Structure 1
């Protein structure tokens, strides 16, 4: 497989400045990304899945406290092989993306250290569809019915479009260095369903109305946003609703661990 069909993976594993995440506090660790889920630290799981994807080349982890992460077995092995490096986490997610993108080869697959349910096939599907769409930037989405089929408790809020409800999968695509400006959409952390004012800032007021009323298609919204940024942004619909379930809090931790126990049995070993 040639480099033209591969992406560099950027794994966002930062922490909020001066705040100990409740899940980290309960697990007695310094940062959320190393909290074990069914026996394996979250970021270790994500690195295992990303590194097993045949469409991923180099891997970079963006973190504020890399030493704790670097000691994990899969991470340490990939560092030794020269495939994995670290970049410094900044005070917000956009500047952290910029930090992670310095000096690495595009295109970028961006994922998060709490995406514990995404498989190598899931990452491969996303990358393949981004290449096929010739996307300058992209976001992975899952259909409401697929998310609810994966687990009815896995997600309660959805983006509503004319063709149905969708959930964000925390998978993003930056096709080139010029397309890095698309990362500005994430400057306030996304969460557009919970914080609609963020849609106004990122996409414009008219698109907020369309979004809230469910009048437009997701393709139309991305087309409008593409005009604002000057390159093609694409919604990528993925086939598995599990990909939209990440670990944000105690509820989603319990949902994720329940699903992993079904897949792996009790207390998997790293």
Structure 2
């Protein structure tokens, strides 16, 4: 039985695809895939799958076709979903495999905690179709001083994504259809702007929108009730993209770990 009995039944998807046959990050430790890199005695994949199960996920799906990752995921009791042409298409593929609400995260979210997943679900309004977790820059700086993250500037400050998404109703599918279009049109930015709305872009660039307002407006454009959940722990915005990230995460998880800065 889940330790969070008030949550609705849900499944979880771990995106573990790779754009290259051999990930340069993985080669640091001699692995063939980044998600298999060990952090504090466990692969990043295992840490993520474990956190999702502790949050109460009924099924954990792993989107990957790398044989080593597939083998490890099956050992962990996860199910395999074939990846598609990019993360958004992979999410859409996974949505065809479940009829429950879906939590989506990535295999390099090595610090993932079950409490973050629970907070995302509990703090998402019951009227919402979709939500995502953002962390404020000051919250991240408090957790990892000197961290260099990608920030989005809104009227209520600078925010960074946490690679945690909650697809609460089937309507959330439209979010990833829009994302897939954005990936397809990445060399034609005017098409993306047209989909999002010129007024929305102008208001964002003018600093008139809060993070919640911006996400809600994008949702309105595609018929989705979308919301933002604010992370209470700045570590929720940390993933392992670079060697210095890996080193810092390992230090954080080491016994009696000191505070470290992420590059």
Taking structure 2 as the reference length, what is the TM-score of the superposition? 0.84
Q: Does the aligned pair in 2 maintain the 1:64–1:88 contact within 8 Å?
A: yes
| Per-residue deviation, 1:27 | 2.1
CA distance in 2, matches of 1:262, 1:36: 16
CA distance in 2, matches of 1:59, 1:115: 15
- The answer for the alignment partner of 1:92 in structure 2 is 86
SS at structure 1 position matched to 2:254: helix
CA distance in 2, matches of 1:78, 1:52: 13
Cα deviation code 1:238-269 (max 9, x no counterpart): 2111000101112322222222225779xxxx
Pair 1:63-2:57 in alignment = no
Matches within 5 A, 1:16-95: 16=19, 18-54=20-56, 56-65=57-66, 67-72=67-72, 75-76=73-74, 78-79=76-77, 84-95=78-89
CA distance in 1, matches of 2:139, 2:24: 29
CA distance in 1, matches of 2:194, 2:150: 21
Structure 2 gaps of 5+ residues are: 259-263
Is the deviation greater in 203-212 or in 89-98?
Answer: 203-212
- The answer for the alignment partner of 1:124 in structure 2 is 118
Is the deviation greater in 37-46 or in 7-16?
Answer: 37-46
Tell me which of 167, 171, 176 is aligned to 1:178: 171
| Per-residue deviation, 1:122 | 1.1
Structure 1 gaps of 5+ residues are: 266-270
1:249–1:208 Cα change, 3 Å: farther
**RMSD value over aligned CA atoms?**
2.6
Pair 1:9-2:3 in alignment = no
Matches within 5 A, 1:189-208: 200=193, 203-208=196-201
Q: Does the aligned pair in 2 maintain the 1:199–1:205 contact within 8 Å?
A: no
Q: Does the aligned pair in 1 maintain the 2:129–2:170 contact within 8 Å?
A: no
Q: Does the aligned pair in 1 maintain the 2:25–2:242 contact within 8 Å?
A: yes
Q: Does the aligned pair in 2 maintain the 1:153–1:255 contact within 8 Å?
A: no
| Per-residue deviation, 1:110 | 0.4
| Per-residue deviation, 1:225 | 1.1
Moved beyond 6 Å, runs of 4+: 1-4, 196-199
Taking structure 1 as the reference length, what is the TM-score of the superposition? 0.82
SS at structure 1 position matched to 2:55: coil
| Per-residue deviation, 1:43 | 0.8
Is the deviation greater in 256-265 or in 112-121?
Answer: 256-265
CA distance in 1, matches of 2:196, 2:23: 30
1:27–1:168 Cα change, 3 Å: same
